[in-house]
Amino acid sequence: MPVKIVVDGVHKSFASDVGPLQVVDGVSFTVDDGESVAIVGPSGCGKSTLMNIVAGFEQADRGSVRIDGAEHGRPNAKGILISQHGSVFPWLTVQQNLMFGLNGQAHGRQTLADHYAAMVGLQGFEGSYPHELSGGMLKRAELARALVVKPEILYMDEPFSALDALMNLRMRNELLRVLAEERHTVLLITHDVEEAIHLADRVLVLSQRPARIQAMFDVRLPHPRKLSGPAVQELREAILRELGVDEA
């Protein structure tokens, strides 16, 4: 399978009152085309900074990011970011939000918007405004808004963290259903180890700040994954140990 994303020796520091604060320290990894990779790590370790560098919203001090072999330094149409903060416009309906990303398309915008609304279970709510939707429906609208522009890469920064546990699980299943229908490469930042195992083909564990790759785990489990199964629990405990958590 061809490599989609190459992160090579990325370093990043920010200015602080006591001098440069190193946040990312020589991180390197690859993501194959169509692969889903999750990144977990302690709070404040630099996960979101790393995501922003890979997605092109931040510039690395040193190192490089390549997408399909080409140097990548700014956001582009190949990838779209879905974050915990939300991205829909409150003054537009669901359909209008989905059509907004298709402004450069001359024909079929409404049909395509309605197709993706139905894909994420929002059929019948195309005319609703964001404030008229539940939290879970709003997340579905955000997912559809990202998918409608047909990105090759989904950058997901704790996209479901604001949802309660049941809705979080439903949205994960919704995402897996979509990914079974459409091919996307996924880079996921999450603080939830179970979520990482549920969604990803590989899990990268970051160290305390400054972030380095501390460990990598392959998730060789077919979908649908039984989260209560012994293989998942064994993997979960191994990742938690890397994060300094011993449930025993």
Q: What pLDDT digit, counting tens, does each position of 161-183 carry?
A: 877 888 888 889 888 988 998 88
C-alpha to C-alpha distances, 238 to 93, 188, 191, 203, 232, nearest whole angstrom: 44, 19, 15, 11, 10
Report d(CA 97, CA 42) in Å as an integer: 34
Instruction: Tell me what pLDDT residue 164 has.
Output: 84
Quick one: fold of 1-78+153-248? Answer: Rossmann fold (3.40.50)
Highest mean pLDDT among 42-51, 97-106, 116-125, 160-169: 42-51
Lowest mean pLDDT among 13-27, 76-90, 167-181, 203-217: 76-90
Report d(CA 97, CA 100) in Å as an integer: 5
Residue of higher predicted confidence among 16 and 187: 187
Cβ atoms of 31 and 3 within 8 Å: the answer is yes
C-alpha to C-alpha distances, 173 to 38, 48, 53, 115, 227, nearest whole angstrom: 16, 23, 28, 19, 12
Burial class (CB in 10 A: 0-12, 13-18, 19+), 127: exposed
Domain residue ranges in the chain: 1-78+153-248, 84-150
Write out the H or E segment, with its range, that includes residue 231: helix 230-242
Phi and psi based region of residue 239 (left: phi greater than 0; alpha: psi -120 to 50; beta: remaining): alpha
Q: What is the tens place of the pLDDT at every residue in 107-133? A: 778 888 888 888 888 889 999 998 998
Q: Assess whether pLDDT exceeds 70 at residue 232.
A: yes
Q: State the Cα angle at 191 between 120 and 214, rounded to 5°.
A: 125
DSSP state of 142: H
CA-based nearest residue to 194, from 176, 214, 212, 168: 168
Report d(CA 105, CA 191) in Å as an integer: 37
Average pLDDT for 86-101: 86
Cβ atoms of 135 and 162 within 8 Å: the answer is yes
